[in-house]
Structure 1
């Protein structure tokens, strides 16, 4: 039986939690979230009427089949892995984690990579100190539903001073449109640690009249001097809705790099926030998206400065085709006391169709005098002079426009720190822009 948001509440959340034999503290925690879900309203992203979307059914708990080696994974998942590598990887299939691999040398250093559900039993203190502290259950109905229903999930802990050289890959895959697909990724990077994470959200739903709802969240806590690079490629079938909230909280001299490819085929709400709590903390966010068909997309990137001498840079680039619509918001907030802070942002939208629509909205909110802040935004078509220049070198108009578009998006594509994910993103771009 599916779980409609209109009737979901405290008892339903507790029943699901108990059915999975979760710890008592988590049962109570989900109960509270279920109660919130029954009372809170949906978020209201600007100019995006998500109340018209099919957000009412959350699906049923349908765990995937646990496997002991990558060779046993479905081909759609295995194709995203580097078969020759033993790098850290974790895989969620529909409603549960089915495979996790962490090299012994990293285990010996105290690194933890497991499902969030397992971590609730084995690392309760760390979870209770961080889980949904940056993305809180009381923000809106979708956050409360996420808190009540998250399943599988990823927990990554990097101890003080540990550097993980190979990117940690998290694959979140759905092939059942009626499954509850609510993954939560929690990364805790202790002081002076360093890690790169690559997240793939993908689906293979086939012909279906059902709507898959990906109600996902990412929380990154970078302690003093830690450096976290977080890359994500999202590409699901058009019958899926992608709801993704990402949060990072940075202590003194910590750094987060967001590298986001929102390549989904259906409707999207994506909200990426860096909270620069510590002095000298830095955030660098790069986001690209391609809208096709009749997609509706709300893409928001935010940075809030509390720390002195903190710096944020945000770049969003979107290409819109057909009748797709994108609302792109960049918000830099510098709080009182964040002296010497520097917040910069750029939003650019490239229109490839007269029926497509792209709004770029740069917003600066400044409550401190001794700071730097700036923004730039543009919405336009492929540059005619650039096309003419390339054609004068013997390149056809179609190929010239293609090269310009790829160059427009390359600042993000080239930054993906995992070759398999970078190649996947390039394949997606070729399909969407072809």
Structure 2
């Protein structure tokens, strides 16, 4: 049998991978179905509206193989850098799909029924609970083939279940690092807040070598399920090196009176596609989706969103802000879908683009599809440069032009950064953004 070092994503590599899961027959079947779907689906093409404006030449699965375990020195270096948030309720660190360190919950939280486990361990110890949620979200934004490959080779990931009525303030944190050239990782985060539970979560995606000149691939998936009255606040930071192809497939499902909030900071990758879909399944829910992207060089960030209101008397708000320098490109394509029974829907969608270079390109495609007749919905997009009147105002008060220019840029960022509720995380996010500017 060929070794993992020589395999690519073909039938032989899949058969070698799935053979390791003989102890969980339902997961093997789940993976086989995913592989069959992957093989049956074509790669995206330019005629597909869901990939409009995307530079498909930047997306390839050729030449990548399943990731190998980091060496001892690599493990130690990654653990040293896994400190975006130190005040946590639980932590996991993964390097190339392999678990490097696991910090479990306190005895007090464990006694309350909180389950915080590496996904593979959760599948073994809580199969019915994981099976209920894993892969159950619909996916309608175009990344079906990549989603299928993710589930076929799913290995490293985190699982969090917070029982009814349990509220946890300190966040749970998962770090996913890529380490080796021409290898692929498949990070997975699965969060379940049961009725009236409350939880905070932070995901970090990063690279061992920030200056790496060889390609890597990441196909990540995250799903948040808020049961009635549940509250989930998830933050995602993506800071891969600039030869990474990154696909993030995100889903939020909100039941009756649930509150779900997500914030994403996107900094890294050569090409990054972010698909974020929200489904308000029951009345009374509130969902907020925020994103800040800083694009430099020839980076491309491809953002696709869907806010589906399937129930009445619910609220959703989406704000995506992009700052573009050099020859960077962004695509924002968002849709608010209001189904016939979702009366009294209150939904908003905004995309704001700040062009800091004459060669940068921002594409915006906001949209509404409303099938109910008693709703409040709006969508909009703006693209512009630094306001010259504001710049003049600051300079007239003695602030040097370069400093004034920078203050206005970081003021544009701050509307999103301020929404991070953890002060330690907030300051580290500011540092990451600052580092990206300083490295240009």
Query: TM-score scaled by structure 1?
Result: 0.92
Secondary structure, aligned partner of 2:428: helix
Structure 1 portions without partners, runs of 5+: none
Structure 1 residue 345: Cα displacement: 1.2
Q: Work out whether residues 13 and 30 of structure 1, in 8 Å CA contact, stay in contact via their aligned partners in 2.
A: no
Structure 1 residue 207: Cα displacement: 5.9
Residue number in structure 2 paired with 1:288: 292
Residue number in structure 2 paired with 1:110: 113
What are the equivalent positions in structure 2 for 1:27-42 lying under 5 Å apart? Answer: 27-42=28-43
Q: Work out whether residues 246 and 269 of structure 2, in 8 Å CA contact, stay in contact via their aligned partners in 1.
A: no
Equivalent in 133, 136, 142 of residue 133 of structure 1: 136
Structure 1 residue 107: Cα displacement: 0.8
Tell me, yes or no, if structure 1 residue 393 matches structure 2 residue 397. Answer: yes
Q: Structure 2 vs 1, CA of residues 167 and 215 (structure 1 numbering), >3 Å: closer, same or farther?
A: same
Equivalent in 62, 67, 80 of residue 68 of structure 2: 62
Q: Work out whether residues 251 and 277 of structure 1, in 8 Å CA contact, stay in contact via their aligned partners in 2.
A: yes
CA distance in structure 2 between the partners assigned to 1:399 and 1:35 by the alignment: 55
Secondary structure, aligned partner of 1:180: strand
What are the equivalent positions in structure 2 for 1:20-419 lying under 5 Å apart? Answer: 22-43=23-44, 44-64=50-70, 74-81=76-83, 85=87, 87-101=89-103, 102-135=105-138, 140-205=144-209, 208=212, 210-419=214-423
Cα deviation digits, residues 28-48 of structure 1 (max 9, x gap) = 211121111111023452210
Q: Work out whether residues 88 and 172 of structure 2, in 8 Å CA contact, stay in contact via their aligned partners in 1.
A: no
Structure 1 residue 86: Cα displacement: 5.6
CA distance in structure 1 between the partners assigned to 2:181 and 2:356 by the alignment: 31
Q: Structure 2 vs 1, CA of residues 207 and 342 (structure 1 numbering), >3 Å: closer, same or farther?
A: closer
Secondary structure, aligned partner of 2:203: strand
Residue number in structure 2 paired with 1:19: 20
Secondary structure, aligned partner of 2:51: coil
Q: Structure 2 vs 1, CA of residues 311 and 321 (structure 1 numbering), >3 Å: closer, same or farther?
A: same
Q: Work out whether residues 77 and 171 of structure 1, in 8 Å CA contact, stay in contact via their aligned partners in 2.
A: no
Residue number in structure 2 paired with 1:427: 431
Q: Structure 2 vs 1, CA of residues 92 and 191 (structure 1 numbering), >3 Å: closer, same or farther?
A: same
CA distance in structure 1 between the partners assigned to 2:210 and 2:353 by the alignment: 31
Q: Work out whether residues 34 and 145 of structure 1, in 8 Å CA contact, stay in contact via their aligned partners in 2.
A: yes
CA distance in structure 1 between the partners assigned to 2:253 and 2:280 by the alignment: 6
CA distance in structure 2 between the partners assigned to 1:241 and 1:84 by the alignment: 29
Secondary structure, aligned partner of 1:74: helix
CA distance in structure 2 between the partners assigned to 1:100 and 1:65 by the alignment: 17
Cα deviation digits, residues 2-44 of structure 1 (max 9, x gap) = 5544xx24x6434202235551211121112111111102345
CA distance in structure 1 between the partners assigned to 2:69 and 2:183 by the alignment: 8
Cα deviation digits, residues 246-276 of structure 1 (max 9, x gap) = 0011111111101110111421100111100
Q: Work out whether residues 75 and 95 of structure 2, in 8 Å CA contact, stay in contact via their aligned partners in 1.
A: no
**More moved, 54-63 vs 354-363:** 54-63
**More moved, 323-332 vs 12-21:** 12-21
Q: Work out whether residues 320 and 353 of structure 1, in 8 Å CA contact, stay in contact via their aligned partners in 2.
A: yes
RMSD of equivalent CA atoms: 2.3
Structure 1 residue 197: Cα displacement: 0.4
Q: Structure 2 vs 1, CA of residues 418 and 429 (structure 1 numbering), >3 Å: closer, same or farther?
A: same
Query: TM-score scaled by structure 2?
Result: 0.91
Residue number in structure 1 paired with 2:47: none
Q: Structure 2 vs 1, CA of residues 408 and 367 (structure 1 numbering), >3 Å: closer, same or farther?
A: same
Structure 2 portions without partners, runs of 5+: 45-49
**More moved, 245-254 vs 90-99:** 90-99
CA distance in structure 2 between the partners assigned to 1:103 and 1:395 by the alignment: 50
Q: Work out whether residues 195 and 227 of structure 1, in 8 Å CA contact, stay in contact via their aligned partners in 2.
A: yes
